[in-house]
Amino acid sequence: MRLVDTHSHLFLEEFTEDLPQVIERARTAGVTHIFMPNIDSTTVKPMLAACNLYREYCFPMIGLHPTSVNEGYAKELEILRHELETSEGYIAIGEIGMDLYWDKTYLKEQEFVLDKQVNWALEYDLPVVIHCRDAFDYIYKVLEPYKKTSLKGVFHSFTGTAEEAARILEFSGFSIGVNGVVTFKKSGLPEVLQGIPLEKIVLETDSPYLTPMPNRGKRNESAYIKDTLMKISEIYHMPPEEVGNITSETALKVFGIPK
C-alpha cells in the first residue's frame, strides 16, 4: 500500500530529537512521500535541511503562513520570493491562506498576501496549499477571479460544510486535504465527505498537530496517517489499500510528482 502525507511539519523543534525514527516509522507505515509546507522566513532553513537529509521522501514548499502576516509582511514576501527565484525543488506555494481565528487585525494584509502568492503559483506553474481558519468566504473571494485559470492545489485540513466543499470543487484543479480531525468523536466531517468523490481527497497529518484517534493527545507524526486512512476507508466502504492508492495518485498528480 502506498500513502502520501501531503502536509507535515517534520522540520519543527518537536522532531529535533528523533527525526530519523519518525521517518523510519513513516516508511514502515507505507508512506512514500512527505510534503512539507513552509511557515515563514525563519523556517526555510530547517525545512530544507530536513528535506535534503531525506530527499527521497521529503519535499519542500515555499510560502508565508497567514498567522505570520503582520506589519513586516512586505519584507517576508521579499525574502520568500527571492528563495523561490533562486532555489529549485519547491513543489508548491504553501502554506498560504487566511486565519481569522485569533483576530482580524491584519485581515486586509492577509488578503493581499494570499493574492500575491496565488500569482506566484500561476507564474511558476505550482500548486497552492491553502490554510483556512474562520475565513472561508474571504478566501473564496480572493480565489474566485482565478477560477478559469490553471490554478490547482489542496484546501488543507478541511473541516467545513458540504456547501463549502462544493464551492472548493468549483475549481477543477483543487483537492481537499483530510487529516486526523475526521477521526474525532464530534467531527461532522464523515457526513460531509460522503458527498465528495474519493478522487478529490488527499490525506495529510499536519504533524505535529491534529493527531488522529486513537493516539490523540500525543505528538502527531506521518506514520499516524494510517489512522486517518482507516477512517476514510470506513466512510467510503472501500478497502484501505484502494483508498491509499487512489488518494496517493491524486496527491502525486496535484503536486506534479512522478509516480
Torsion sign across C-alpha atoms 133, 137, 138, 142: positive
What pLDDT was estimated at residue 59?
Answer: 98
Give 221's pLDDT tier (boundaries 50, 70, 90). very high
What pLDDT was estimated at residue 210?
Answer: 98
What is the rounded average pLDDT for all residues in the chain?
97
Are 57 and 27 spatial neighbours (Cβ–Cβ below 8 Å)? yes
What pLDDT was estimated at residue 1?
Answer: 83
What pLDDT was estimated at residue 113?
Answer: 98
pLDDT in tens, 168-205: 999 999 999 999 999 999 999 999 999 999 999 999 99
What pLDDT was estimated at residue 86?
Answer: 95
What pLDDT was estimated at residue 258?
Answer: 86
214 upstream amide cis, omega within 30 of 0:
yes
pLDDT in tens, 243-259: 999 999 999 999 999 87
pLDDT in tens, 59-90: 999 999 999 999 999 999 999 999 999 998 99
Task: Return d(Cα 162, Cα 194) in angstroms, integer.
Answer: 9
Domains by residue range for the chain, with CATH: 3-254 (3.20.20.140)
Task: Return d(Cα 73, Cα 66) in angstroms, integer.
Answer: 10
Task: Return d(Cα 98, Cα 6) in angstroms, integer.
Answer: 19
**Whether the model pTM is above 0.75:** yes
What pLDDT was estimated at residue 127?
Answer: 98
CA atoms within 13 A on the CB side of 50: 29
What pLDDT was estimated at residue 259?
Answer: 74
Give 159's pLDDT tier (boundaries 50, 70, 90). very high
